[in-house]
Structure formats: structure tokens, C-alpha cells
Amino acid sequence: MKQSEKVGLYSILVNLFLVGIKALLFLISGSVALMADAIHSFSDVISSATVLAGIKISKRKSKGFPYGLYKVENFVSLLSSVFIFLAGYEIVKTVFNSQPPLHTRYLPYAIGGVLVTMGITFSFSRYELRQGRKIGSPSLMADAQHIRTDMLASTVILVGLTGGWFGFNLDKVAALLVVFLVFKAGLTISIDAIRVLLDASIGFETMDKVKSIIMKEPGVVSINALLGRNSGPFKFIEADIVIKAKDLEKALSISRKIEKKIREQVSHVDHILIHYEPQRKETTTYAIPLKEDKKVISEHFGNAPCFQLITIQNRDGAVLSEEYCQNPFAQEEKGKGIKVSEWLLEKGVDTVCSPRGFKRSSPGYVFSDAGVDVIVTDGKTLEDVLQSIKN
């Protein structure tokens, strides 16, 4: 039995125990309010049983429901909100329709008993709410809110019993406050459940986090669309992205990296669908490592004094711009290859020309992750390389 199922079972047992205590207090005090509250607690048993059934059903998948039955939990949450509204109605009815006389001799015992039930209710509702948040179960969180209304109802009854002991009637004033809180809790739960059932978007904070994870991946150029929805305790995320990758294997690798990072950093993700398409550019920017004379190709990528950046129009091979850039990391002692690679990525380079290539080297991994092509050139001079590029 999983933790969510255990907590659901605990809820049933606690509510049965509260029914027994309140029934006993009714017998010794003669309080109609306590009798009604015992009946109300019995309705909680039914509610908690529904929650447990919802948790069990929601875990099943079939051909008819390939995405699972997770929303059963949200439906159960909606049912729980109905129970909360009914609880508010019962509180009003109990306070305004309770019939004296009370057994005043036993009222102190009844008051003490009500305080005990309030302590049990408060402690368990906090425990269930904490477990519901930890597990990500909306039905457990809704049930915790529902059980907490018992404590509010007990507060009304406590005020009524205490007032009856001293000869004052404070039930109506307390009832108005409690009913307001009860209906507010029920409304919050029902709205949250309805939002999920209608496939409302995941919260802005979560979606912004997912967006950040995607855009931090070097091979991603842009996001065309990003959608997310809740289903029970789980999240379903869909992304349409543009990537720097010309072959299917590389594109798939980038997609899997993104999916892995999202699952690691966002809790309770059930399904991620990433649609990717290659970047379609009208131009290509090449980076060519050069020696000090700016004419001869440098065989040492990280040590190259400067780079020629040339942008060519893909349609007709026309040169749109040329620029010489001094290598800011040429004098670095360590890690210059990675630093130069990242610097060229910032410059928007699409292709790097090199006499040796970058097989099994740090720059090679950087360029590969970013979808930058590497051309191993036989040219000795800048003119040789430019001629091969244009052809």
C-alpha cells in the first residue's frame, strides 16, 4: 500500500473514532448539536472512503484511458468540496435548530470531550495536508481541508456549550463566522478541481521554470509553443522548439536531454512531449582561426590570435559581412578551448573551420551540443578556405 493510500485509510479510521466520541458526548450531555456533529463526522467517513477509492482508481491505465485516470482525484476533490458545503449547511442547521434542555451537570465533560476532538482533528488535518503536498495528491489536500471544517464546527458547538453553561447564547454569531470560513474553503477546493478538470494551464512559476530549462540547452534556438496541464497530482508538458541540428539523431539527443532535466527539476511530471524542428536560416556564419598575419590558417584553435567571421547568404553564396575578431582567450593557461568555443557561440557562429577538427576534445563537445557544424579543412590560407566554402 502506497503512502497516499495509507493516509486515506488513516483518515477513515480517525473519522470513525471521532464519530464514536461525539456520539458518546451526545448521550451524556443531551446536546442536539453534538448529535448532529456526530452525523456530520459520519459523512466525513464516507468522504474519506471516496478519497481512498479515488486514489486507487486514479493509478490505473488502460487502452481506453492511455493517459491514466489521474483526474479521478480531482473529481474526488470536487466531491469533497460538496461535502464541505453540506458541512456548512449542517453547522447552520445545528446551531439554529438545537433544542434544549442540556444536561448541565455533564456539560464540563462534554466541553472537555469537544476540546479533545478538536485536538485530534487539528493534528490529523495538518498531517494529511503535509502528506498531500509531499505526495502531490489534490484529493488528500482537499480531504485535509474538509476534516479541518470539523474543528470549525466543533468551535461553534464549544461556544454553544460554554454559553449554555453560563446562560448565554452565542451560537448565532459564531455560526456566521464559521460558515463563512467553511464555504470559503469549499469554494477554493472546487475552483482548483474544476481548473484541472477543464485542463487549465500549470501555474506561471512552474511553466517559467520549464521555459528556462529548455532555453538553457545550447542547441535550442527558440520556443514556438509551450503548454502544460495538471492531471491529478501529475503534470503533462508539451513543447514545440526550434533547434540547431541537421540530423535526426542529434535532434533526438537534444530532446532527451531537455526531458531529463525537466523531470529532474520539476516534481510529479508524468508525460513530456517535445516536438522539434531544425532551424531554417537564410545565412550561415563561419569562424576561421588565423595566425597573426590574418592570412594563414592557425592549426591551434585555442591559441589562434584571431578569427575571421564571415556571413554568407545560403541562397546564392553571396558574402554579406566579414569581420576579424581578436581571440580574448589566446593567452589563457587553462581551458582556453572551451572558453573560445563558448565565445564563438555568443557571436552566433554556425560553422567552424579547423585543420585538425575537434574529435574527443572539449570544443568538439561544446559545438556538438550547440548544433554547430565543424568542417575539417585542408586549406592552408584564408583564401583557400573561403574558396571551398563558396563552392
Of 6-10, 48-52, 235-239, the least confident: 48-52
Per-residue pLDDT band at 358 (split at 50, 70, 90)? confident
For 151, phi and psi rounded to 5 degrees?
A: -65, -40
Please tell me the predicted confidence (pLDDT) of residue 387: 83
CATH for 283-390, among 3.30.420.130, 3.20.20.150, 1.20.58.760, 3.40.50.970?
3.30.420.130
Which tens digit of pLDDT belongs to each residue from 217-256? 878 889 999 999 887 667 889 999 998 776 777 788 889 9
Report the CATH architecture of 3-197. Answer: Up-down Bundle (1.20)
Query: Rounded to whole angstroms, how far apart are CA atoms 126 and 5?
Result: 17
| Domain 204-278 superfamily per CATH | Cation efflux protein, cytoplasmic domain (3.30.70.1350)
Q: What is the pTM of this model?
A: 0.57
Q: Which three cell numbers stand for residue 342?
A: 563558448
The answer to whether 40 and 87 are in contact (CB under 8 A) is yes
Per-residue pLDDT band at 98 (split at 50, 70, 90)? low
Which tens digit of pLDDT belongs to each residue from 181-216? 667 767 877 887 787 778 777 888 889 999 999 998
**SS3 assignment, position 30:** coil
Please tell me the predicted confidence (pLDDT) of residue 27: 82
Domain boundaries, the chain: 3-197, 204-278, 283-390
Residue written as cell 585543420? 355
- Among positive and negative, which fits the CA dihedral 111, 165, 29, 169? negative
Residue written as cell 455533564? 106
The answer to whether 197 and 74 are in contact (CB under 8 A) is yes
Query: What count of other Cβ atoms lies within 10 Å of the Cβ of residue 269?
Result: 19
Please tell me the predicted confidence (pLDDT) of residue 307: 94
> Which residues are registered as beta bridge partners of 275?
240
Please tell me the predicted confidence (pLDDT) of residue 139: 66
Average pLDDT, the chain: 81
Per-residue pLDDT band at 177 (split at 50, 70, 90)? low
Query: Rounded to whole angstroms, how far apart are CA atoms 159 and 153?
Result: 10
Would residue 371 be called left, alpha or beta, if left means φ above 0 and alpha means ψ between -120 and 50 degrees? left
Residue written as cell 568538439? 364
